[in-house]
Chain A
Amino acid sequence: MVLETSFFSVSYGRIEALKDANIHIDEHEAIAVIGANGAGKSSLLFGLSGIVESKGLIRYKGNDISSLPSHERVKLGLTLCPENRRIFPSLTTEQNLKLGAFRSKFKKSQLEFVYELFPVLYERKKQIAGYLSGGEQQMLAIGRAMMANPVLLMLDEPSLGLAPILVDQVFKALEDLKKTGLSVLLVEQNAYKALSFADRAYILETGKVILEGNAKQLLSNDRVRSAYLGI
């Protein structure tokens, strides 16, 4: 098991964004977390990466990491590609990517791997990242996360605000990444895409895990279909 939480909660003052979540992720597994806006998806990822405070246990490769600061977690291979990309807008594409390796040793092969995954980033490597299109910025954010050489890659709504063709492109890249053997924790509102991609999934509603199971089976679950797939 790569990661396991028990009674994992995230609160902002009196607002309980995530309550007692018990989730686990196996090696080479792709997990989707589906939920409406405000369900607590980002809070889950922020809590796991140590960007916001959390309560409860996080076991990563068997060790409790819940008291480690965020930069130590990145070092261990727990990398978040955050919502809204969060790239460094005035730096170039390549500078952004190189910064992705801030906690690990910069490897040229890793950069080449990212350029292979997203050839458009290679074409734009000298460009100021703030001037990239939304799709390119999303690819840059994923590429930057990959530069940290993650064991578990967490992605927060990578398809948000992208045109359908770009959404396909991003998911295609995620499929490729999955094949390299890393574990993926994908948070999405685009339930159909996410469930098609993932092995297993958790459904979040107002901060609580209300359903979990095989992703393909959830695709045909009546409750999921009516609430998240609009069928």
Chain B
Amino acid sequence: MFVKVLQSLIFGLFQGCLYGIMGFGLSLIFSTVGVMNFAHGNSGMIGVFVGWTVLFLTKNIFLAFLAAIISATILAIFIDKALMKRVKGLSHSAMLIITLGLLLIFEGLAVIIWGTQPLIFPEIFGFSPKIVFLPQSLNKSNIPLIIPGNDLAVFGTIMALLLLLIVFFKYSKPGLAVQARSEDEIGARVIGINTQATDTLSWIFGIATAVFAGLLIAPKTTVNPNMLTNLQFYGFTAAVFGGFSSIVGAMAGGLILGVIEKLVILGLDELFLLLHITSINAVDLQLSIVLLCIIVTLIVKPTGLFGNKYKGKV
């Protein structure tokens, strides 16, 4: 049992870091610009397609990442300057509608340009899985612990990135400006922060991280128009956990969500086994678990797991 729990924990963290990075982007954009970006996953998807295309043409993975991130930046600036700034005076719901529209437009665009056939993205790291046998005292039934090398590398990469992002937003001047602007727009402007710049920066960081996450999972999911749809939903849940105004909270929320999900599945598996239920597969309940997490959080602690009104932001 210990090994199974440990295994779920590991898979949970590997999965959760992806939720965390999606949640990070969503809450960054939400807390700065004040809009829920429904096109988050699809913006990321477009960037991944660009990356795939460059990889296809040049066979150079570094260039592919570079092109994907640049396309994310261009997309972010376009969304911010060409769309959001124009309707900002209207209302937040206008901005919301725009992101919903973009969700559909990006999907259509991807279908038109690249088609619906899933495209293969090669392994980025190419590590083989490690199989570990824990000592007998901990591992009575002698089941191996599996650590997929690629997933571990993705986990390490994302955790390093998240750490860099935290340092950037907590200590660098532009990072502090974004944080100040997310706390109080007028307050930020009176101390001389260029809030147009902070908004653009938030869109860029938000969408670039979504593209980055998309590239990292592309070898697993293939590149297709819906590759980030579910992950956006998980990211949203992570952001709800984090209280939406806290980027650190969203990251932590993602990891916790991943672990909860895998542990609940493990528990249900064991329960179904015990009750001889074979008609349901616990894995199929994944999305229901996530939904339940959102609802429970919103009821019990609407400010997120870590937030009270003031503490725990960013």
Contact = CB atoms under 8 A, between A and B. Distances in A.
**Interface of A (DSSP majority class):** mixed
Contacts of B184: 86-89
Interface in A74-117: 74-75, 79-82, 86-91, 99-100, 102-103
A78 to B, nearest CB: 10
Interface in A106-150: 128-131, 144-145, 148
Contacts of B176: 99, 102
Given A90-B312, A90-B314, A128-B311, A102 B183 contact: no
B191 A74 contact: yes
Nearest to B312: A90
Contacts of A79: 190
B190 A81 contact: yes
A53 B293 CA distance: 45
A103 B191 contact: yes
Contacts of A128: 310-311
B313 to A, nearest CB: 4
Max chain A C-beta neighbours (<10 A), residue from B192, B194, B309, B311: B192
Contacts of A181: none
Contact of B194 (A71, A80, A131, A145): A71
B27 to A, nearest CB: 14
Contacts of B314: 90
A148 B177 CA distance: 15
B152 interface: no
A91 B311 CA distance: 8
A90 B183 contact: yes
A38 interface: no
A103 B190 contact: no
Interface string B164-195: 00000000010011011001101101111110
Contacts of B189: 49, 51, 70-71
Given A91-B183, A99-B176, A102-B177, A86 B190 contact: yes
Given A89-B310, A128-B311, A130-B309, A102 B187 contact: no
B144 to A, nearest CB: 46
A69 interface: yes
Given A51-B186, A51-B189, A88-B184, A69 B194 contact: yes
Interface of A: 49, 51, 69-71, 74-75, 79-82, 86-91, 99-100, 102-103, 128-131, 144-145, 148
10 contacts: A51-B186, A71-B194, A86-B186, A90-B311, A90-B314, A102-B176, A102-B191, A128-B310, A130-B309, A145-B191
Given A86-B186, A99-B191, A102-B173, 12 more contacts: A70-B190, A81-B190, A86-B187, A87-B187, A88-B180, A88-B184, A102-B180, A102-B191, A102-B192, A130-B309, A131-B310, A145-B191
Which 8 residue pairs of A and B lie closest in terms of their CB atoms, listed nearest first? A74-B192, A130-B310, A103-B192, A86-B187, A90-B313, A88-B183, A71-B192, A71-B194
